[in-house]
Amino acid sequence: MKSFNKSHKLDNVCYDIRGPVMDEANRMIAQGEKILKLNIGNPAPFGFRAPDAIIRAMSDNLTSTEGYSDSKGLLPARQAIADYCVNVKHIAGVTPDDIYTGNGVSELITMSMQSLLDSGDEVLVPAPDYPLWTASVTLAGGKAVHYICDESADWYPDVDDIRSKITPRTKGLVIINPNNPTGALYPRELLEEIAQIARENGIIVYSDEIYDRLVMDGLEHTSISAIAPDIFSVTFNGLSKSHLIAGYRCGWMTLCGEKSHVRGYIEGLNLLSSMRLCSNAPAQSLIPTALENADTSKELLAPGGRIYEQRELIYNAINDIPGMSAVKPKAAFYIFPKMDIRKFNITDDEKFVLDFLREKKILLTHGGGFHWETPDHFRIVYLPQLDELKYAADSLRDFLADYRQN
């Protein structure tokens, strides 16, 4: 019989969020064990509910969204996004024509890279990254070149490292702001430096801003597209996180700034967008309501709110464990702690996560899953309620008290 293997296109596509740790978790679950999953940013299983107005907006539109929409999306949805970009994010000149809705940001990340890259073209991607970016660059035939985000500088991108990694093949530069997995939020001056690098080298900036409405401590998110209208940039945003509807698959991508030199690229995007006909139309139909209530998660992020208090707990608890430290996240719901690998003799971060899973039945993601090379980090999703988070932190303390890798 003819046997089938995966396509060679996938040979170098690394998406470590799957792999042996997930396999083991699934095996344990199949055997009836209960696992505390701190490995994925999916709010609904932790009791977060979408606002009623959002659900109503979609259900009211179910009968009018039975057909395919325009491939870029329903006009009222794209108009609402354009208004949000111009009036709230201060990105000049955005019109509905600059917007593509997608089945989540995920689909659009892949589409943006497929249209851009030829074999061997390079894209600068942060380390640590949200791994879909690296995987999408690779799947599109490109090479992801990782630049360092510096833990000792609040996890900000190291601009000297970015500069040193630009080559004649570099086409794009990805920033994730606010950041997953570190929770960092980039200040305006840093964004200006990054924009300047893009300007000098004629490269496209891709700014993943899906957490822009999940910022704490009275800080504000600045979009790089707002401060650099003379360069071409693409922003990514959606409702999975801010409106707690990850399962509805609702995201968008906005083409910003100067476009005279990217007509061919946009032609490619239009082609790919129409090849998938359109994104989920009922989910698009709730976008105007969602963006009228863009601050819907504000209460969760203020002192006394769930996300804020959960961040305080996990941040303090981690820094209290001998041999562990973490930078305080300013946004989103992730923390990326550091382990003293000499103290614990850790040489394999994936093994650490696997050992912890087997002993404590708690699922984390190892730093390597985010293209962080040294085996000294892991990510915690701090979405669970305080008592569960405290249990997780206590378990980690207990586990590390005598954990040593051979």
CB 214 within 8 A of CB 242: yes
Residue type, 272: L
- Phi, psi angles (nearest 5°) of residue 14: -110, 120
Closer to ligand PLP by Cβ: residue 334 or 403 = 334
DSSP SS3 for 18:
coil
Of the candidate residues 82, 148, 204, 210, the single one contacting ligand PLP (CB under 6 A): 210
Distance CA 197, CA 200 (A): 5
The label of the residue with tokens 């200040």 reads 187
Q: Closest separation between CB of residue 126 and ligand PLP, Å?
A: 10
- Residue closest to ligand PLP, measured at CB: 104
Q: 202: burial class by Cβ within 10 Å (0-12, 13-18, 19+)?
A: exposed
The structure tokens listed for 246 are 């990850």
Under the binding rule (CB under 6 A), the answer on residue 105 touching ligand PLP is yes
Residue type, 368: G
Closer to ligand PLP by Cβ: residue 125 or 228 = 125
Q: Closest separation between CB of residue 251 and ligand PLP, Å?
A: 4
Closer to ligand PLP by Cβ: residue 69 or 237 = 237
Q: Closest separation between CB of residue 152 and ligand PLP, Å?
A: 22
- Span from 67-75, 149-157, 238-246, 258-266 in contact with ligand PLP (CB under 6 A): 238-246
Residues 22-41 within binding reach of ligand PLP (CB under 6 A): 41
Q: 6: burial class by Cβ within 10 Å (0-12, 13-18, 19+)?
A: exposed
Of the candidate residues 104, 157, 183, 329, the single one contacting ligand PLP (CB under 6 A): 104
Stretch (H or E) spanning 83: helix 75-83
Distance CA 362, CA 392 (A): 7
Of the candidate residues 96, 142, 251, 375, the single one contacting ligand PLP (CB under 6 A): 251
Q: Closest separation between CB of residue 44 and ligand PLP, Å?
A: 12
The total number of residues written for the chain in this structure: 406
Under the binding rule (CB under 6 A), the answer on residue 114 touching ligand PLP is no
Of the candidate residues 157, 238, 368, 384, the single one contacting ligand PLP (CB under 6 A): 238
Of the candidate residues 130, 147, 232, 403, the single one contacting ligand PLP (CB under 6 A): 130
Under the binding rule (CB under 6 A), the answer on residue 43 touching ligand PLP is no
Q: Closest separation between CB of residue 363 and ligand PLP, Å?
A: 15
- Span from 13-21, 98-106, 183-191, 313-321 in contact with ligand PLP (CB under 6 A): 98-106
Closer to ligand PLP by Cβ: residue 41 or 157 = 41
Report DSSP letters for 258-312, one per residue. Answer: --TT-HHHHHHHHHHHHHT--S-HHHHHTHHHHHHTTTTTHHHHSTTSHHHHHHH
Under the binding rule (CB under 6 A), the answer on residue 354 touching ligand PLP is no
Distance CA 97, CA 225 (A): 17
Residues 44-73 within binding reach of ligand PLP (CB under 6 A): none
- Span from 28-36, 103-111, 218-226, 274-282 in contact with ligand PLP (CB under 6 A): 103-111
> CB-based contacts of 344: which residues, under 8 Å, 6+ apart?
323, 352, 400, 403, 404, 405
CB 53 within 8 A of CB 294: no
The structure tokens listed for 15 are 């998406």
- Span from 52-60, 104-112, 166-174, 273-281 in contact with ligand PLP (CB under 6 A): 104-112
The structure tokens listed for 226 are 């707002």
Under the binding rule (CB under 6 A), the answer on residue 208 touching ligand PLP is yes
Residues within the interface to ligand PLP (CB under 6 A): 41, 104-106, 130, 176, 180, 208, 210, 238, 240, 246, 251
